[in-house]
């Protein structure tokens, strides 16, 4: 009977160590399987046909959400979008990330797909990434002989090309506790319907000084409007250290739109970048005041 997938060998490590040993042994003949919502589609379309599929969801120590004020938030790479979107601690203290994970795909896709798999896919339009950028997430990558921490804004090189090396496994996402008097949000719009590809995604994290409404920090993360998700750093500078007002917000949004490099529907998406950045900064500002 002909099957939808080409044959492969199925490996099911029970620890991270076993997993990286297998990845090291089989190199580019192996692919990591977690939720499968990206990998299985690529395999069905014959874009990739790995000889070895290394299923890592049986590794118990990779699915967790831990938080403390000092250490910040630590999310295991196997935490699903559903778990993150529904997590009381993330909804309370890192709301924009819960919002972003709640937007991914459909309920079924969110139940299956993992944050680690999503990050490693490295696409330009992934909803989770702008929030991780503004939260200044760091990624823990483990291989047979090394362990390294990579800031997320150094992870995306080109569309679907990340800094993940062969035989390396993303195990943890580390997010520092934001400064007091901070808030954030994630705003987006889609092509036609609610469950749809994101055409412009904007995450904002802002901190206000305890005096006089001065913006002590502003971070703006964008997806879908450049080859990779990125921080609109010139736009951030417009408001950083200044007293927030509507004129400056509009200026920052304009600069963000200029920093965007959308591939298709470029004019429209640049204009919508300005609209969404304005909305996002305004909403965040209201939340803090």
Task: Catalog residues that contact other proteins under the rule CB under 8 A.
Answer: 1, 3-10, 12, 33, 36-37, 40-41, 44, 53, 55, 57, 82, 105-109, 111-112, 194-195
Beta-carbon neighbour count of residue 153 at 10 Å?
20
Nearer to other proteins (CB atom), residue 106 or residue 246: 106
Nearer to other proteins (CB atom), residue 108 or residue 146: 108
Q: How far is the CB of 276 from other proteins (least distance, A)?
A: 22
Q: How far is the CB of 194 from other proteins (least distance, A)?
A: 7
Nearer to other proteins (CB atom), residue 51 or residue 246: 51
CA 283, distance to chain mean position in Å, is 21
Q: How far is the CB of 106 from other proteins (least distance, A)?
A: 3
Q: How far is the CB of 110 from other proteins (least distance, A)?
A: 8
Nearer to other proteins (CB atom), residue 12 or residue 217: 12
Nearer to other proteins (CB atom), residue 4 or residue 180: 4
Q: Cβ distance 77 to 44 under 8 Å?
A: no
How far, in Å, CA of 2 to CA of 159, rounded?
A: 33
Q: How far is the CB of 32 from other proteins (least distance, A)?
A: 13
Quick one: which of 150, 116, 99 has its CA closest to 38?
A: 116
Strand partners, 211: none
How far, in Å, CA of 25 to CA of 103, rounded?
A: 37
Contacts of 20 (CB under 8 A, 6+ apart): 142, 143, 144, 167, 168, 169
Return the DSSP state at 154: G
Q: How far is the CB of 60 from other proteins (least distance, A)?
A: 14
Nearer to other proteins (CB atom), residue 109 or residue 163: 109
Phi-psi region of 167 (alpha: psi -120 to 50; beta: other; left: phi over 0): left
């Amino acid at each position: 009977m002909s099957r939808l997938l080409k044959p492969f060998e199925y490996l099911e490590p029970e620890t991270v160590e076993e997993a990286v040993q297998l990845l090291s042994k089989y190199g580019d003949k192996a692919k990591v399987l977690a939720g499968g919502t990206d990998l299985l589609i690529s395999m069905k379309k014959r874009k990739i046909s790995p000889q070895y599929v290394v299923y890592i969801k049986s590794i118990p120590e990779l699915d967790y959400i831990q938080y403390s004020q000092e250490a910040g938030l630590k999310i295991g790479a196997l935490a699903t979008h559903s778990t993150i979107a529904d997590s009381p601690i993330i909804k309370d203290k890192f709301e924009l990330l819960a919002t972003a994970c709640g937007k991914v795909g459909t309920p079924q896709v969110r139940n299956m797909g993992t944050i680690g798999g999503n990050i490693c896919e490295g696409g330009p339009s992934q909803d989770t990434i702008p929030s991780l950028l503004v939260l200044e997430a760091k990624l823990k990558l483990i291989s047979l002989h090394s362990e390294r921490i990579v800031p997320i804004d150094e992870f995306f090189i080109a569309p679907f090309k990340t800094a993940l090396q062969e035989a390396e496994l993303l195990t943890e996402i580390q997010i520092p506790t934001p400064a007091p008097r901070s808030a954030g949000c994630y705003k987006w719009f889609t092509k036609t319907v609610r469950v749809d590809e994101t055409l412009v995604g904007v995450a904002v994290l802002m901190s206000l000084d305890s005096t006089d409404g001065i913006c002590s920090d502003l971070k703006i993360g964008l997806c879908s409007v450049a080859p990779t998700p990125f921080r609109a750093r010139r736009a951030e500078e417009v408001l950083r250290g200044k007293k927030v007002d509507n004129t400056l917000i509009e200026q920052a949004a304009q600069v963000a739109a200029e920093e965007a490099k959308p591939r298709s529907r470029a004019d429209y998406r640049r204009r919508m970048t300005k609209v969404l950045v304005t909305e996002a900064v305004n909403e965040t500002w209201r939340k803090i005041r």
